[in-house]
Amino acid sequence: MADFETLDYDVLVIGAGGAGLRAAIEAEAVGCRVGLVCKSLLGKAHTVMAEGGAAAAMANVDERDSWRVHFADTMRGGQYVNNWRMAELHAQEAPARIRELEAWGAVFDRTDDGRILQRNFGGHRYPRLAHVGDRTGLEIIRTLQDRVVHRAGIEVHMECTVLRLLKDPSTSSGQAGRVTGAFGYDRERGRFRVWRARAVVLATGGIGKAFKITSNSWEYTGDGHALAYEAGAELMDMEFVQFHPTGMVWPPSVRGILVTEGVRGEGGVLTNRDGRRFMFDDIPDNYRAQTADTPEEGWRYTQGDKNARRPPELLTRDHVARCIVREVREGRGSPHGGVFLDIAWIKEKLPDAEAHIRRKLPSMYHQFKQLADIDITKTPMEVGPTTHYVMGGVRVDGDSQMSSVPGLFAAGEVAAGLHGANRLGGNSLSDLLVFGRRAGEHAACFAKESAVPTIDAAQVDAAARDALAPFERVGGEGAYAVQHALQEMMQDLVGIVRREEEMRRALDGIVALRERAKHVSVVGHREYNPGWHTALDLANLLVVSEAVARAAIDRRESRGGHFRDDYPAKDPAAATYNTVLRRGADGEMQLERRPIPPMRDDLKAIIQEMG
CB 403, CB 395: distance < 8 Å: yes
Look at residues 440, 442, 533, 447 and name the one whose alpha carbon lies nearest to residue 18.
440
> Is beta strand 192-202 parallel, antiparallel or unpaired with respect to 5-14?
parallel
Dist CA 89 CA 129 (whole Å): 17
Strands of the sheet containing 393-394, edge to edge, are: 393-394, 235-236, 577-583, 589-595
CATH number for 465-578 (one of 1.10.3720.10, 1.20.58.100, 1.50.10.10, 3.40.50.80): it is 1.20.58.100
| Residue 43, phi then psi, degrees to nearest 5 | 95, -5
Q: What single-letter amino acid sits at 455?
A: I
Look at residues 221, 206, 242, 182 and name the one whose alpha carbon lies nearest to residue 408.
182
CATH number for 248-386 (one of 1.20.120.1760, 1.10.8.290, 1.10.10.410, 3.90.700.10): it is 3.90.700.10
Dist CA 276 CA 271 (whole Å): 5
Look at residues 403, 411, 427 and name the one whose alpha carbon lies nearest to residue 87.
427
Dist CA 528 CA 218 (whole Å): 16
Look at residues 104, 10, 199 and name the one whose alpha carbon lies nearest to residue 433.
104
| Residue 92, phi then psi, degrees to nearest 5 | -75, -40
- The residues spanned by each domain of the chain are 5-242+388-457, 248-386, 465-578
Burial of 532 (0-12, 13-18, 19+ CB in 10 A): buried
Dist CA 418 CA 412 (whole Å): 9
- The catalytic site residues sit at 244, 264
Position 1 scores a pLDDT of: 60
Burial of 516 (0-12, 13-18, 19+ CB in 10 A): middle
8-23: burial string, b at 16+ Cβ within 10 Å, e else = bbbbbbbbbbbbbbbb
Dist CA 486 CA 217 (whole Å): 17
Taking the chain (611 residues) in consecutive chunks of 10 residues, what is each chunk's mean pLDDT?
Answer: 86 98 98 97 88 94 97 96 98 98 96 94 92 92 96 97 94 69 97 98 97 93 98 98 93 89 93 96 91 95 92 92 93 95 95 93 92 94 94 98 97 98 95 98 97 94 97 94 97 95 98 97 95 97 98 97 95 97 96 98 96 76
CB 505, CB 449: distance < 8 Å: no
CATH class (in words) of the domain with range 5-242+388-457: alpha beta
Position 250 scores a pLDDT of: 86
Task: Enter the DSSP assignment of 328.
Answer: H
CB 223, CB 204: distance < 8 Å: yes
